[in-house]
Amino acid sequence: ESRGEEEAGECEGDKHIGHCDATDVAAAASLCVNYNAPGAGASQNHLHAHVWTQFGRYPVDRAALLMKNEWRWSREASRTSKTDKGPGRTRRRRDLTKGGGVTARIVQYPAAAVCFMGEDPIEIGDAVYDVIVEAESRGLTYNLLISGGGRDEAADVVGVYLFLRGRGEQNERPSVLGQRIGAGQMAGEWIIDRPDVFERATESSITEALAQTRPDGKTGNEVITNILDAASSAA
């Protein structure tokens, strides 16, 4: 929403939280938390996440989930830690009985998106981590996004998404737009600060750019399916 000149000026160039900042946070329906892995839009050389206020659902929240396959993680039994394929990585196992397990489904979306659902956030985190480890062992990279807008507004279900991506300049900065794509853009929330990119940014070009980030080409989910099969069976 647009602000008046006086209100907008109050927040520009000030290192302190202004009135408009406070009201933005207070009025936000929820927060979006996201992380860009190296090679997936990360702009800094250190581990950091982004958090911003979210006032509605993103396109990925509104996209249908493919019903053909569903992957499940169960944490009803105690698990022991084991070393996985990734260098220096360990798949963590906990004795968790709070939640009813985790399910994952592929999102019907231009980018390679997986949605995780469950009652216990720690169990969801375990499942997400399993998939990340498996994807990295195959040379892929990813974006992680927690959408407070939710997949189901009535049920208030938070959307937890993992976007799996190939590596390389074409995957990180698709040629159709020539802009680095991070988690926000992967979810469908585009902020464009270059006039030349803005002129080329249409629904079709954005769809094409998202498709170019996929690890398995512009169509098909074979690579993603294989990763989910391996990650869920290892659990």
Tokens at 2, concatenated? 């647009």
Query: CA 12 from chain center: how many Å?
Result: 29
**pLDDT number for residue 6:** 47
Beta-bridge mates of residue 108: none
pLDDT at 26 over 70: no
pLDDT band at 184 (very low <50, low <70, confident <90, very high): confident
Q: What are phi and psi of 149, to 5 degrees?
A: -65, -30
Tell me the per-residue pLDDT of 214-225, one tens digit each, with 9 for 90 and over.
987 666 788 999
Tokens at 46, concatenated? 């250190």
Q: Alpha carbon of 96 to those of 74, 76, 158: distances in Å?
A: 9, 6, 21
| Residue appearing with tokens 């969801």 | 124
User: What integer best gives the mean pLDDT of the chain?
Assistant: 76
Q: What are phi and psi of 16, to 5 degrees?
A: -100, 155
Q: How far apart are CA 171 and CA 166, in angstroms?
A: 6
Tell me the per-residue pLDDT of 30-52, one tens digit each, with 9 for 90 and over.
778 888 888 887 766 667 788 87
With CA atoms as reference, report the closest residue to 214 among 170, 176, 179. 170
**pLDDT number for residue 216:** 76
